[in-house]
Amino acid sequence: MHSTHTHPNSSALQASLEQSVAKERAPFLIGMTADAAGVTFSGAAGEAAPGRPAAVDSVLRIFSMTKAVGSTAAMILVERGQLDLDAPVESILPDFARLQVLTGWNGDQPTFRAPRTKATVRQLATHTSGLEYEFWCAEMNEYLTRTGRPSILTGTRDALNYPLMTDPGTRWGYGISIDWLGLVVQKVSGQRIDAFVTENILQPLGMADTVFEPRPDMAPRLAKIKARGEDGKFANFEINPPPHPEVYGMGHALYSTARDYLHFLRLFLNEGAVDGVRILSKNSVRTMRQNQMEPLKFAPMVTAIPSVSADFDPFPGTVKTYTVGFLRNEADIPGRRRAGSLSWAGVLNSHYWIDPASNVIGVIATQTLPFVEPPFMAAYEDFERAVYA
């Protein structure tokens, strides 16, 4: 994981991080860039914890950056001929057939109907299965609140039994689909998902700081979380992936570092191999880089819980789709990423993008709520523009 050459605009990238921290857009920021050959910039600003400067090896709760790792695990099984992306989920996990579409309320009781279509593995991977998170779906938030049913972040197997918000294959909706995809990988491989991911992805890539449970030696490097209050100031906050859960959720379970995660992302500029270690075939990388949800499009995420997230519609007015693993930009963004770029993020504002046309990967990360709040997004934009300047 050594640096091979330096981004020509490195001083401006570092200045961008420092200026954003000075403007209180984030308590700390870690920024990295790479191309197919290796790391081109590593920088940080601010303190990840009292008296500990942020660094590329600061340990982050990466939450939904876990999803691309889970999708990679599924593609490994597809390559082995053990998993068909177009198989109905219930053909692998029979209890998925119990999930019904929420239609409303009869007094205090939720009402349901059977789905008109059967969700496929590909629909899990592209967030078109009908499953949606409570954070960006008011109906789902109301359902959990009124029924007292467990949220996915409780870590129980039962927590995966969210009702469907719509028929599979009819709209894009961000949700717990990748947690179900992780269960698919467990069932097909015969291994626990954490063991499968560690053995087939993390260990071969040398990602020693990417773990399902932080090791004691990592504790001093663990970044602190801050949430911005209504007064505009950051205060300490706690939200962690559930420790030692019944089921590791491939939607949220991992801890990692910017350095480790950037190394993983280089797979997608290098046709599935990094520094001589092959994880995926070229065909699998193609599946993970191309739109897999025709004719549907990414739909803006409207917050149901503003303390957790702002609304999210990256590059509004442009078409976005979803691959197995990533959001995909279908249009060039002037001064920024190009069409065919892939991206996603974790809820504590750890973000990344992969731009194959420009041979660029970027990571910019902190540990704050709300997700995609305008001050953070200004820091992200400044950093990205400096990458392309």
Active site (catalytic) residues: 64, 67, 174
Reduce the DSSP state of residue 369 to 3 states and report it.
strand
Strands 225-228 and 368-369 turn out to be: parallel
Bridge partners for 329 per DSSP: 320
**C-alpha triplet 92, 195, 259: angle, nearest 5°:** 120
State how far the Cα of 199 lies from the Cα of 22, in Å rounded to an integer.
41
DSSP annotation of 281 reads: -
Question: End-to-end CA distance of the chain, in Å?
Answer: 25
Are 194 and 255 within 8 A, CB to CB?
no
Main-chain dihedrals φ then ψ at residue 68, nearest 5 degrees: -65, -30
DSSP annotation of 376 reads: H
Three-class SS string for 317-364?
CCCEEECCCCEEECCCCCCCCCCCCEEEEECCCEEEEEEHHHCEEEEE
Residue 384 token pair:
């990205």
Nearest residue to 335 via CA among 349, 315, 312: 315
State how far the Cα of 388 lies from the Cα of 33, in Å rounded to an integer.
11
**Residue length of the chain:** 389
Q: Note if the bond before 370 is cis, omega within 30 degrees.
A: yes
Q: What residue ranges in 17-86 does DSSP mark as E strands?
A: 28-35, 38-49, 52-53, 60-61
**One-letter amino acid of 73:** A
State how far the Cα of 286 lies from the Cα of 279, in Å rounded to an integer.
13
